[in-house]
Each structure stands twice: as C-alpha cells, then as structure tokens.
Amino acid sequence: MNYFKEAVENVKDNVNASSLHKYMAQLREKKDPEEIVLLQKAMDMTTDGFREMIRELSPGMSEYQAQAIVEYHAKKGGSEYMGYPSICGGGANSCVLHYTYNRKKLDAKELLLVDMGAEYHGYTADITRTLPVDGKFSQEETMIYNLVLAAQNAGIDQCRKGKGFRDAHHAAYEVIGKGLVELGIIKEINEANKYFMHGTSHYLGLDVHDAGTFTALQSGVVMTVEPGIYIAEGSPCDRKWWGIGVRIEDDILVTESAPIIMTAALPRTIHELERLMAEDF
Ligand SMILES: [Mn+2]
C-alpha cells in the first residue's frame, strides 16, 4: 500500500480538495484482492440475470420486462441495488445513449440494447449486451455487431500493465473507423465519431465510473471495454443501417500478464447468443 503511505504523508502537510482528490483517485484506481472478490460477485449476479433475460426475450415483451428479469436474478443472487439506472432500449432506442425510460414494447425485427450492473456491498458490475428480439441477427445487424466485437477484442488486448489508459479506446476506434469505411457508412476513419460518440473505457469499483488517475495501467485496475456503433434514423448513410445500435461491454482486470475478462461467463459472439436465445426452458 505505497499509495496509502504517500497519501497520509502528503495529506498531513497539505490538505486541500485537489490533493485529496488526487490521492483518493490513486487509492481507488488499483483494487485490493478483497475488492476484486466483491466485484466478481457483483459481475456473476449480473451475468446470471443477463443469461435468463436473453433466454426469455421474445417479441411483445416490453423493455422494462426485459430489465426486470436481469434485476430479479441479480437480486436473487444477493445484489442489494442496481449500480446505476438500467438502460434497456429496443429499436430506435438502442441508438439513444442514456435511454432509461424503458417503456416500449419490443418488435420482432428490432435489436435490444441492455446496459445493466448489479451492486454488491458497494461494488458495481457494468455489462452491455445487444440482442435481436426474435433471436436471429439480420445481415446488417451481423455486420455491425461483428465490427463492434472486433473493436472490443482489440480494446481488451490493450488492457495490460504499462499501457496508457486510453490505448483501449484508440485501438477500438481504429477498428470501428476502418470497418465503417469498408461498409461504405463513412468515407474517412475520422468520421467514425458520428456513430461511435463515447469513450471505450472507465474505471469500475465503488462507483460505476470509478475514480482513477488515467495514467499507465497497473495490475489490479478494473476497467470496462465498451465500444459501440449507433446509426440513428436519418443518418447520412444507406437507410438499411438505420435504427441499428450495438454496444458490447465487459469488465476487465489488468494483471501482471494477460487481461482477464471478469464477465466472460456471459456469451458475446453471435453464434453463442443465438444458441442461448434458441434454448428451450
Ligand atoms: Mn460502462
């Protein structure tokens, strides 16, 4: 706990809001083993809820009913609260970044974007999956989904000790930029921010957007990797893409060696998701 010693020494001499913020950010950025245990529990409760929701999802269900399935199983597993307002948006709502109204009825041909996290003993998970309501991704949805998945894998690969905090974002952005150019949706890579308009990562812990220094990654850092592509109706591209909003979000532990996907229990590939949706129960 070098940070803690340093924080105590410095705070004794110079207590002010900005130095306290800096030292608290250092303390919270790197998780102790006990914190990682609590985070893993919150994530496991969340993945259990997502798995049940994915199996039960069907046309005619409302957004809030899909949300309720995740929350029920998370709370059944021991979660006291959700860590942040649940985002559960179908069709055009999948393109609305902080959509939490969650009242719409879901149509068969829509995608549903679900961003939810159980909180356990103060620590929160943060997971997003995007699913076809009728259980089968269309051709256009498949192309966008696999592009986001490739971007996420590129981002996760940057979650290594010594890498910059924003390296995951740069890697994901480049994959999405190149892919959108290849699909004819944009002309230049630097236009990708029209459809991927948020950062790829944040720290995760006591807050869903936890405190941290945004400096080089250390082992013990837990962070999200969550690229997305959101093509709202009326976007300047072929209308066959309109209404497709996809985000895939997992929670990553930076270690001394390879990144660990703490939420790997929940399927991410189209093949695995379609298989789970087709399961009888
Ligand atoms: Mn997130």
The pLDDT tens digits of the residues spanning 99-143 come to 999 999 999 999 999 999 999 999 999 999 999 999 999 999 999
Residues 17-47: pLDDT tens digits? 788 888 899 999 999 999 999 999 999 999 9
How far does the centroid of ligand 1 lie from the alpha carbon of residue 224, in Å? 6
CATH of 31-278, one of 3.90.230.10, 3.20.20.140, 3.10.20.90, 2.160.20.10: 3.90.230.10
What is the 253 CA–ligand 1 centroid distance (Å)?
Answer: 14
Helix (H/G/I), strand (E/B), else coil: 33: helix
Query: What pLDDT score was predicted for residue 279?
Result: 85
Q: What's residue 21's pLDDT?
A: 86
> For residue range 85-98, what is the model confidence (pLDDT) as tens digits?
999 999 999 999 99
Question: How far away, in angstroms, is 128 Cα from ligand 1 center?
Answer: 8
Q: 157: how many CB neighbours lie within 10 A of its CB?
A: 16
In which band, very low, low, confident or very high, does the pLDDT at 250 lie, cut at 50, 70 and 90? Answer: very high
Determine the distance separating the centroid of ligand 1 and the alpha carbon of 187, expressed in angstroms.
Answer: 28
The count of other CB atoms within 10 Å of the CB of residue 34 is 8
Residue 218 Cα to ligand 1 middle (Å)? 19
**Which pLDDT value is given to residue 83?**
97
Residue 168 CA, ligand 1 centroid: distance in Å: 14
Residues near ion ligand 1 (CB < 5 Å) are: 126, 224
Structure tokens at 52: 């049940």
Looking at residue 11, what is its pLDDT? 60
Binning pLDDT at 50, 70 and 90, where does residue 10 land? low
Element (H, E) at 253: strand 250-253
pLDDT band of 13, cuts 50, 70, 90: low
Which residues, 6 or more positions from 13, have their beta carbon under 8 angstroms from its beta carbon?
Answer: none
Ranges of each domain in the chain: 1-30, 31-278
pLDDT in tens, 34-80: 999 999 999 999 999 999 999 999 999 999 999 999 999 999 999 99
The lowest-confidence range among 8-12, 79-83, 223-227 is 8-12
Residue 112 phi/psi, 5-degree rounding, is: -120, 125
pLDDT over threshold 60, residue 1: no
Q: What is the pLDDT of residue 246?
A: 98
Distance from residue 202's CA to the centre of ligand 1 (Å):
7
26: its two tokens: 């250092």
Instruction: Compute CA distances 260 → 174, 186, 226, 250, whole Å.
Output: 22, 33, 15, 10
Ligand 1 center to 15 CA (angstroms): 32
pLDDT for res 109: 96
Residue 110 phi, psi (nearest 5): -100, 160
With cut-offs at 50, 70 and 90, classify the pLDDT of residue 154: very high
For residue 246, the cross-strand partners are 229
| Alpha carbon distance 234, 240 (integer Å) | 11
Count the alpha carbons within 13 Å of 66 in the hemisphere toward its beta carbon.
35
